[in-house]
Structure 1
Amino acid sequence: MSRAERKMDHIQYALSTGQSAGALFDDVRIIHQALPNLGVEDISIHTETGDLKLESPVFINAMTGGGGSQTEKLNGMLARAAKETGIAMAVGSQMAAIKDANERASYEIVRKENPHGFIMGNLGSEATVQQARDAVEMIGANALQIHLNVIQELTMPEGDRDFKGALERIAEIAENLHVPVIVKETGFGISREAAEKLAGTQIAAIDVSGYGGTNFAAIENERRARKLSYFQEWGVPTAAAIIEAKEAFPKTVLASGGIRGAQDMIKAFILGANAAGLAGSFLKMAVEHGESRLVSEIESLTEDLQMMMTALGAKSIAELENCPVIITGELHHYLAMRGYEPSVYANRKKN
């Protein structure tokens, strides 16, 4: 099977398998603030965090590219939606185009359709510094995601089986690239231990991409004769991964993985995330309902964020970290077993 065919397989299986609904945001209950003392017009969702200067805390996360004309069409649609709504966008892994120049068009369309937008490139942790430079140049990227996908590769019939040297390669790329580097998981989460290791590099951000969203073990198992079922419920739930990464990594933390809408985003920001990415739900919306519906969905997300921030008395994304929440259920148990004190989040002093 060619790489392009495999990319299209991933898209089809992502649409059919859906999300695993284990991100644990339902275990976070927001404390109502009856005297917020501001109006909707006071809210700013402009997000400038570290080296990332984003107009919105919402972004389209890495999904596709390298699947020929079909992924070129999809990426063009996503790029136009990002341009119209002013949000950032990431492309899927560009290794396909680095290895086969015929696939460049499926990525270059993003910059063509959105010439002034914030675009993130994407490569795996096997990439060299030169490949990272090539990926940035290909689409005029404003940042580069380096994705970690050990579980996907192990489940993939033709996947990698050796992951030695990944941290060292990431560190070298971060030291030598002229744009910020974001390390991103692919649906299995970043633990405190992994975040501590990444904190020793010059990367600008971690995207926790936790368990609870598109499950690439489930997708790859659809392509296997013998299923590796033990990987299908593997990973750090997104809500927990935000807290783990935030403790160990002092820079920007991005949330993705099973984020279903604006309320999950608000909860992610309260737990410590600086911005939030959606992939599978945006892809499904684009494929099933078209570009205009996707634009409307993104605009509704922005409006919903502003409404909830008003209700919480938070003028900015950063101020949401002062908002108290009650952590219950499985997330409470998880955090307690990992040495965190969930009651800290319930007793924050709201300004």
Structure 2
Amino acid sequence: MSSERKDDHLRLAGDQSRLPRSGAGFDDIAFVHHALAGIDVADVDLTVRMPGGRWDAPLLINAMTGGSDATGRVNRELAVAARETGLAIASGSVSIALGDPSVAGTFRVLRDENPDGYVLANLGVERSPDDARRAVDLLQADALQVHVNAVQEIVMPEGSRSFARWPASLEAIVAAVDVPVVVKEVGFGLSADTLALLTDLGVAAADVAGRGGTDFVQIENARRPEGGYEHLFGWGQTAVACLLEAPADAPVLIASGGVRSPLDVVRALALGARAVGVSGGFLRTALDGGAEALVAQIREWQAHVAALCALLGAATPDDLLHTDVIVGGETADFCRARGVDLAPWAVRSRAHRAETARRERSRHDR
């Protein structure tokens, strides 16, 4: 891994973030509007409990970069924005810093500029348990984000071609570190079967990171002089599809991949995500306007998420799980093919009221 590759990734991801995005599935989700269900915005509390600590809002500045002078400067802007808004923040893969201490500061700036914030270190699933501990120590991290990226590796000119040991490697990492492990796809989704396996391996949280956001097939294909992997563009599932088919005993879920607006954030929370990660949209703002512009954007998103929660009658993000959602389009087709019954999602508020009334009667009877 080289600093030049890190700069390539940043440049190509930045270019992608400026293009119109579609195909992430969020537009397949609509809320049933109940005109008298609203509450006061002042009564909405956006804080959420996550493995390893409390977050001030269900938003994450997701894994992006680090490993070169240019990416270190971007990380500083992101860290300042996280500090000023109270958002959790994840580093890009710190693997390069474990082999080249001269670039460690380009990652450590996330902690230096944000000493009291919730910081996730990021590392590839193939790394050793000792490397995992070193990654956590480098950032004094509150959690370790372990990325799984087989599709990216296949297209990457210098990528791995050996994936069979990944489950065992992940299990060893979970056992080795003293902080929660968050498994993150890099844009191709985590299926229900994968989420069930992650539960068995002791993973605390999973970022389903679906297609529709930053496309690492396109990024790595652009780095190949001859290209050739265009047939893999659009591979995988959306975050929306992953949330809808997630098993009940899945790890704590984070959603990312093509999140464009506060409405997408609320949609993901209503589908079962505890928090939502944003990369491309925040990166574009940081590149164009620095920390000041990103702080303004994040505060606007926080205000809009709170307003949408109030509109839907949700005093907390968890209360969004009782809202009624209609699933259509390609996402509905996916769910039918995978055996996901969508009918209960459309009447959740009714079911919640009935269950609340039943509990109240039971309490009085006692």
TM over 0.5: yes
Check whether the contact 1:195–1:248 (CA below 8 A) recurs between aligned residues: no
Distance (whole Å) between structure 2 residues aligned to residue 186 and residue 169 of structure 1: 18
Does residue 107 (structure 1) correspond to residue 104 (structure 2)? The answer is no
Residue aligning to 2:182: 182
Residue aligning to 2:313: 313
> 1:91-129 CA deviation, whole Å, 9 max, x = no partner?
000000001111101011111100010000000011111
User: TM-score under structure 1 normalisation?
Assistant: 0.96
Residue aligning to 1:231: 232
> 1:120-143 CA deviation, whole Å, 9 max, x = no partner?
000001111110000000010000
The 5 Å alignment of 1:52-71 reads 52-66=53-67, 68-71=68-71
Residue aligning to 2:143: 143
The 5 Å alignment of 1:1-351 reads 3-18=2-17, 20-66=21-67, 68-224=68-224, 225-245=226-246, 247=247, 249-350=249-350, 351=353
Distance (whole Å) between structure 2 residues aligned to residue 349 and residue 241 of structure 1: 22
Letter of the 1:296 counterpart: A
Letter of the 2:135 counterpart: A
Letter of the 2:27 counterpart: D
Identity of aligned residues (%): 37
Residue aligned with 2:349, SS: coil
Distance (whole Å) between structure 1 residues aligned to residue 195 and residue 217 of structure 2: 22
Q: Aligned pairs, how many? A: 348
Residue aligned with 2:123, SS: strand
Letter of the 1:136 counterpart: V
Q: Quickly say closer, same or farther: Cα 1:47–1:105, change in 2 above 3 A.
A: same
Q: CA RMSD in A?
A: 1.3
Check whether the contact 2:59–2:277 (CA below 8 A) recurs between aligned residues: yes
Q: Which runs of 5+ in 2 are unaligned?
A: 354-366
Distance (whole Å) between structure 2 residues aligned to residue 37 and residue 76 of structure 1: 39
Q: Quickly say closer, same or farther: Cα 1:52–1:235, change in 2 above 3 A.
A: farther
Residue aligning to 2:360: none
Q: Which runs of 5+ in 1 are unaligned?
A: none
Distance (whole Å) between structure 2 residues aligned to residue 138 and residue 169 of structure 1: 20
Letter of the 1:45 counterpart: L
Residue aligned with 1:41, SS: helix
> 1:223-242 CA deviation, whole Å, 9 max, x = no partner?
11132112111011110012
Check whether the contact 2:245–2:340 (CA below 8 A) recurs between aligned residues: no
Distance (whole Å) between structure 2 residues aligned to residue 155 and residue 37 of structure 1: 48
Distance (whole Å) between structure 2 residues aligned to residue 95 and residue 49 of structure 1: 25
Higher alpha-carbon Rg:
2
Distance (whole Å) between structure 2 residues aligned to residue 95 and residue 176 of structure 1: 17
Following TM superposition, the consecutive aligned residue runs of length 4 or more in structure 1 with deviations greater than 6 angstroms are none
Check whether the contact 1:148–1:186 (CA below 8 A) recurs between aligned residues: yes
Residue aligned with 1:290, SS: helix
Check whether the contact 2:211–2:237 (CA below 8 A) recurs between aligned residues: yes
Measured after TM superposition, the shift of residue 37 of structure 1 is 4.9
Residue aligning to 2:364: none
